[in-house]
Amino acid sequence: MSRIHVTATVNGDPVEFLADPRETLLDALRNHLDLTGTKEGCGTGDCGACSVTVDGTLVCSCLMLAAEANGKRVETIEGMARDGLHPLQRKFIEHAALQCGFCTPGILVAAKALLERNPDPSETEIRYWLAGNLCRCTGYDKIIRAVQDAAAEMRQDHRGAA
Amino acid sequence: MPKDTGIGASSKRREDIRFLTGRGVYTDDLALHGQTHAVFVRSTVAHGRIRSIDTTKAAAMPGVLAVFTGEDFKDVGGNPAGWLINSRDGTPMREPKRPVLAYGKVRHVGDAYAAVVAETYAQARDAAEQLAADSEIEELPAIIDMKAAVADPSNRVHDEIPDNLCFDWGWIEDNRAAVDAAMKAAPHVVTLELVNNRLVPNAMEPRASIGEYNPGTGDYKLTTTSQNPHLTRLLVAAFVLGIPENKLQVVAPDVGGGFGSKIYHYGEEALVLAAAKKLGRPVRWTAERSESFLTDAHGRDHVTKIELGCTKDGQILAIRTETLANVGAYLSNFSTATPTFLHGTLMAGPYKVPHVYVNVKTVFTNTAPVDAYRGAGRPEATFSLERVIDKMCRELNLDPFEVRRKNLLTPDQFPYTTPVGLVYDTGNYHATLDRVMAMADVAGFETRAAESKKRGKLRGMGLSTWIEACGIAPSHLVGVLGSRVGLYDAATVRVNATGNISVMTGAHSHGQGHETVFAQIVAEKLGIPESSVEIVHGDTAKIPFGMGSYGSRSLAVCGTAMAKAVDKIIAKGKKIAAHMLEASEGDITFENGKFQVAGTDKAKTFGEIAFSAYVPHNYPLETLEPGLEETAFYDPANFTYPAGAYICEVEVDEGTGKVDVVAFHCADDFGNVMNPMIVEGQVHGGVGQGIGQALCEFTAYDETGQLLTGSYMDYPMPRAEDVPFYNVDYSCQTPCTHNPLGVKGCGEAGAIGSPPAVVNAVIDALHRGGHTHVKHIDMPVSPSRVWAAINGQGG
């Protein structure tokens, strides 16, 4: 089967690779671009470990074909820290909102997408938004608190900047 | 004033930076030159006889490098059970061989009977599908239900085991007559039959293994998702493949959760090593989630009848249990210890109960192997006990708090020898009970219940007081109980010439934060910054020895080994300092990182002593070796006994049967706490899993042995919306009396104490709503089960 030439922007960098037509975006990120921060927890879109954004939309990269990323802007966990850690990353450390770390990249990408849509989510809104991301270690408590705390800080910074 | 560094500080987790930035390195993240891909051919039937496997077509497919079947491994060893359990009549357990790949028969859906290795994953998978099509397997009737398995001796999981029983164990058999007599004489007897539901551990990282072999040296390397690389090395090298241990390096890099399921050696690990040797190239395999569901060792799966004899005012006189425990198709490494010595020995709970007898029949079925899952046996014991006590309170119209208070051991009774073979060294169970009642505002419950009622919800409150034995384990004791391994641990503390430190520990961190906590302890003891200490784990080539992390043993056992190695460093440092300061060794003190001649200002810093050990120009070389590196092995004198009291509040929707956990309070006694922030996280995670077991999780096999809950669409994992914030307290501290850190362990607490608190709360809510006919609902207490119970169907 002939391969498909894909060009895209990943974390701000132009990339190109040859994708098998059946290959998922997740496999392309991990195997062609060496971006192994995005994880496969289930391969069926049920656990959220493979969360990335494509043109700003949160997707499970295990459910999207690599070829579909052609011409798109993809953001992964590796692109999250710019000029130092993102407030979510800092708050995750402060609250110890992770343990084994396997689900963490997906949760951070998903939480960032939430805060970009809704800078002031309620606890319930955070829990529902992150319901697509499974974590077996933390019982979610510290994750929710870290997201609340990061949101508060980002709102503060936003007001300070305005 | 909380400390900001060292023991007791909530130091931030140093491992987090790599995880938060996508720089963690888990097994599947490794790419190796020349790597090949293995795919396993797994049984689609629960029970079948392999008639033929024709490998011709698969072997000739593009990219295929090798095809293996069970016949190829017939002559190597089996994956052994780690504990020998004897039946009540003294006969040893039945121990069928667990081969690398099944031959002769397949015994559960997912049982691997062949494997293909190819250049690419897709090629291996295509060939594995061809091989499945070219295999003739005669389906046999599946043995799924435990009671039926024992009742029908004609149908056998293992042809040589006539009644599908692994063993029939009594604990303690000599006490049986006395327990029977006490039960008969008791003024009141409460009986409860319950199911401890089968769970799939579901670490978020699926199992993965990479085998390597260097034909030039004969060295093997296995990179694998393990909680205990040394144990895996022992099993795969000495028992299965017959490789000398010094020719096999086992590395467990970042591991994405385990919860027990990654303690065990699995056949895939042996296959990738054997295939790597055959091909001279790395061979990798990563489980798909469906393979994890089908083949990771499952947890729990007990069917229990518990009887409790008591006085009319709730004094417990005797406890007797009969349990059927499912081991699945093969014996996984700890599977025989979990329902016995990790379960029966805890059946007295934190109570003063004079008579206890436990009977466990362990049954082979055509299902995935069952083994230790977070808590392992202790959650099963706690659930049975706390549910039957709750039932006693309802039958006799007694207050559950007062009943606990009446029966809990008191601080003056320690050390306390239980009737089931343990010696609890210390505790204060009334303190945790008082604490949790204050945290939960028990007095304000009626107001909250009234408020819930206004919103159309039934509110209930459930209590559980729990204990566990962890810090696994004193070797002499477990040896008597049938363990085939010692359960000590080891650490090496290497002080480098410039004074920074590498600690090689036998513990393995797969989420627990050892890299942070262990560094806090070493830094505190040596009076140096935490940042000067590096914790190395998960590599048999770097670490002296270790039995790994499970059973809340990391800190109590591995941490103690580390603390003892640090003590040896200090002792040697004193000798060096005595020479350099021209004083006698006995006059040297060590405090805050300084070796000092007592009563003088003559002192050397820790860094100066370290440097002198490696540049020994002014050094007692005649009597002391240069260098500063010490190893300690530590075997605990006893188990440790964390304990606590949990209160759960639920709201039940009568119309739908939906249960919401609206509050969860934990008062635990873990002894001394090294890092409160990490301890909280451990409790949160355990409670999250416990709520998952109580309300959501259920592993369903149909009568033909097909796993109906084999994906996240079918197996309801607790999600962020399903759980509340947890209210956690660890201020009641009775330090462990037999390890120098005074620590007990906190990893399993939440999963042990929470399920009965949740179920007790649901029953309480239903009774308050007038549904007093509901005596019990089996877990998971799902909406359909609650609705059925309310409406008189079951329950």
Clarify whether residues A76 and A111 are in a common domain: no
Would the CA dihedral through B746, B643, B484, B196 be positive or negative? negative
pLDDT, residue A1, reads 65
Tokens of B416: 């306390």
Clarify whether residues A15 and A62 are in a common domain: yes
Which of B719, B728, B748 has the highest number of chain A CBs within 10 A, making it the mutation to test binding with A?
Answer: B719
B691 pLDDT more than 70: yes
Clarify whether residues A31 and A95 are in a common domain: no
B156 pLDDT more than 60: yes
Clarify whether residues A23 and A55 are in a common domain: yes
pLDDT, residue B85, reads 97
The SS3 assignment for A115 reads: helix
- Name the strand (E) or helix (H) holding A6: strand A4-10
Chain B residues lying within 8 Å of A34, measured CB to CB: 31
Using CB atoms and an 8 Å cut-off, which of residues 116-155 of chain A contact chain B? 124, 126-128, 130-145
Would the CA dihedral through A130, A136, A141, A146 be positive or negative? negative
B23, B289, B511 member nearest A137 (Cβ): B511
pLDDT > 70: what percent of chain A?
98
Clarify whether residues A53 and A40 are in a common domain: yes
A89, A124, A135 member nearest B20 (Cβ): A89
Tokens of B600: 């003088």
- Whose CA is closest to B681, among A125, A119, A12, A99? A99
B16, B23, B721 member nearest A98 (Cβ): B16
CB neighbours of B601 closer than 8 A, spacing ≥ 6? Answer: none
A158 CB within 8 Å of a chain B CB: no
- Final residue before a domain boundary, out of A47, A80, A113: A80
Give the pLDDT confidence of B159-199 residue by residue, as tens digits: 999 999 999 999 999 999 999 999 999 999 999 999 999 99
Cβ–Cβ contacts within 10 Å for residue B26, how many?
A: 24
Which of A26, A32, A86, A99 has the highest number of chain B CBs within 10 A, making it the mutation to test binding with B?
Answer: A99
Give the pLDDT confidence of A57-70 residue by residue, as tens digits: 999 999 999 999 99
pLDDT, residue B97, reads 97
C-alpha distance from B368 to closest chain A C-alpha (Å):
19
Measured in whole angstroms, how far is the alpha carbon of residue B456 from the centre of its chain?
Answer: 40
Contact assessment for residue B451 and residue B668, using Cβ atoms and an 8 Å cutoff: no
pTM above 0.90, yes or no: yes
- A57: CATH: 3.10.20.30
Q: Are strands B355-364 and B105-106 parallel, antiparallel or unpaired?
A: unpaired
Distance from C-alpha of B511 to C-alpha of B515, rounded to nearest angstrom: 10
| B302-473+638-791 matches B488-634 in fold | yes
pLDDT, residue B795, reads 45
pLDDT > 70: what percent of chain B?
100
C-alpha distance from B727 to closest chain A C-alpha (Å):
10
Contact assessment for residue B251 and residue B211, using Cβ atoms and an 8 Å cutoff: no
Q: Are strands A57-60 and B423-424 parallel, antiparallel or unpaired?
A: unpaired
B493 pLDDT more than 70: yes
Q: What is the ipTM of this complex?
A: 0.97
Q: Determine whether domain B488-634 maps to CATH 3.30.365.10.
A: yes
Q: What is the mean pLDDT of residues B251-259?
A: 98
Interface touch A139/B689, C-beta < 8 Å:
yes
CATH topology of domain B27-140+204-257+262-295: Aldehyde Oxidoreductase; domain 3 (3.90.1170)
B328 pLDDT more than 50: yes
pLDDT, residue B153, reads 81
- A130: CATH: 1.10.150.120
pLDDT, residue B152, reads 86
- Final residue before a domain boundary, out of A41, A62, A80: A80
The tally of domains found in chain A comes to: 2
A160 pLDDT more than 80: no
Clarify whether residues A147 and A90 are in a common domain: yes
pLDDT band at B695 (very low <50, low <70, confident <90, very high): very high
A128 pLDDT more than 90: yes
pLDDT, residue B285, reads 98
- Whose CA is closest to B62, among B132, B119, B116? B119
Interface touch B22/A42, C-beta < 8 Å:
no
Clarify whether residues A21 and A48 are in a common domain: yes
Domain boundaries, chain B: 27-140+204-257+262-295, 302-473+638-791, 488-634
Interface touch A99/B257, C-beta < 8 Å:
yes
Q: Which listed CATH number (3.30.499.10, 3.40.50.2300, 3.10.20.30, 3.30.365.10) goes with B302-473+638-791?
A: 3.30.365.10
- Name the strand (E) or helix (H) holding A150: helix A141-161
DSSP B284-336: EEE--HHHHHHHS-BB--EEEEEEEEE-TT--EEEEEEEEEEEEESS--TTTT
- Final residue before a domain boundary, out of A80, A110, A138: A80
Q: What is the mean pLDDT of residues B304-324?
A: 98
Contact assessment for residue A5 and residue A18, using Cβ atoms and an 8 Å cutoff: yes
Give the pLDDT confidence of B706-752 residue by residue, as tens digits: 999 999 999 999 999 999 999 999 999 999 999 999 999 999 999 99
Give the pLDDT confidence of B108-125 residue by residue, as tens digits: 999 999 999 999 999 999
Q: Which domain holds residue A29?
A: 4-80
Clarify whether residues A74 and A100 are in a common domain: no
The SS3 assignment for A158 reads: helix
B146: Cα within 13 Å, side-chain hemisphere: 20
B700 CB within 8 Å of a chain A CB: no
CB neighbours of B629 closer than 8 A, spacing ≥ 6? Answer: B492, B493, B494, B495
Interface touch B18/A145, C-beta < 8 Å:
no
C-alpha distance from A117 to closest chain B C-alpha (Å):
19
Give the pLDDT confidence of A79-120 residue by residue, as tens digits: 999 999 999 999 999 999 999 999 999 999 999 999 999 999
pLDDT, residue A96, reads 97
Average per-residue pLDDT for chain B: 97
Contact assessment for residue B80 and residue B332, using Cβ atoms and an 8 Å cutoff: no
C-alpha distance from A156 to closest chain B C-alpha (Å):
23
